[in-house]
Chains A and B, each alone.
Chain A
């Protein structure tokens, strides 16, 4: 199957700072990338969907000015959590789908802790 990487795997930051998470498709071109958030013992919640070269579509309740998504190339998408707060602490997971695949491939996730 296709491989998706995420970096960093863990990050701890101070409240008020910004954190950037990278998501890369390593062996395929990701026409669509998805960003999810998962709180402890809860399911994955879709935050936004992005197609390469266009603006991301955010789910209801997700602040687009706080969670900046860039999908500038077919292999890279970034999520920037701006002015992070402790309540933003969560497991952030990206997934990617190429035109030739039916399924989404998930990255390993990034655990964000905001102090």
Chain B
């Protein structure tokens, strides 16, 4: 089976840095994804890690440690529009295809 944990809610100040952690226990690991989801909308892709280390993309960075089953998403220079849910998703080999399993998401509130 699989288990993906991330904090339920976080609050951070505009302009600050926030780190959202994700731990997972799974078999057949084939990559970890971070998605952003605004209320009532579909998720949008942020980042993908399959090897250990840090992937940087503008204000967003994502880190993966496969041995620890741990990832984090780092958001810098926070903006009000970054208020959203952030979903950690693990890809694994399913029946006939690779599939994503999502964590419950972390609702981030950015305050002035």
State which residues 74-112 of B face A: CB under 8 Å. 87, 94-105
Q: For B103, give its contact among A43, A54, A106 (CB under 8 Å).
A: A43
> Given B42, B48, B87, which contacts A103 in the complex, CB threshold below 8 Å?
B48
B94 touches A57 (CB 8 A): yes
* B63 contacts partner chain A, Cβ-Cβ < 8 Å: no
Q: Assess whether B96 is in contact with A106, with CB atoms less than 8 Å apart.
A: no
Task: Bits for A80-112, please: 1 = Cβ < 8 Å to B, else 0.
Answer: 000000000001010101000011111111010
Among A43, A45, A91, A102, point to the contact of B31 (Cβ < 8 A). A102
B44 within 8 A of A: yes
A51 at the interface (CB under 8 A from B): yes
Interface size on B, residues (CB 8 A): 23
Q: Which residue of A lies closest to B31 (CB)?
A: A102
For residue B42, give the distance in angstroms from its CB to the closest CB of chain A: 4
0/1 interface trace, chain A 58-77, chain B, CB 8 Å (1 if under)? 00000000000000000000
Q: Does B43 contact A (CB under 8 A)?
A: yes
Q: CB-nearest residue of chain B relative to A33?
A: B97
Asked whether A51 lies within 8 Å of B96 as measured between CB atoms, the reply is yes
Which residues of chain B are near A57, meaning CB under 8 Å? Answer: 94-97
Residues of the B chain whose Cβ atoms lie less than 8 Å from the Cβ of A46: 99-102
**B46-72 contact mask (Cβ, 8 Å, vs A): 1 or 0:** 001000000000000000000000000
Complex Cα–Cα for A34 and B95 (A) = 12
User: Are B42 and A102 in contact (CB-based, < 8 A)?
Assistant: no
Does the CB pair B96–A49 fall under 8 Å? yes
Residues from chain A with a CB closer than 8 A to the CB of B101 are 46
Residue A78 lies at the interface, judged by CB distance under 8 Å to chain B: no
From residue 20 to 38 of chain A, which have CB atoms closer than 8 A to chain B?
32, 34
Among B42, B94, B95, B99, max chain A CB count under 10 A is at B42
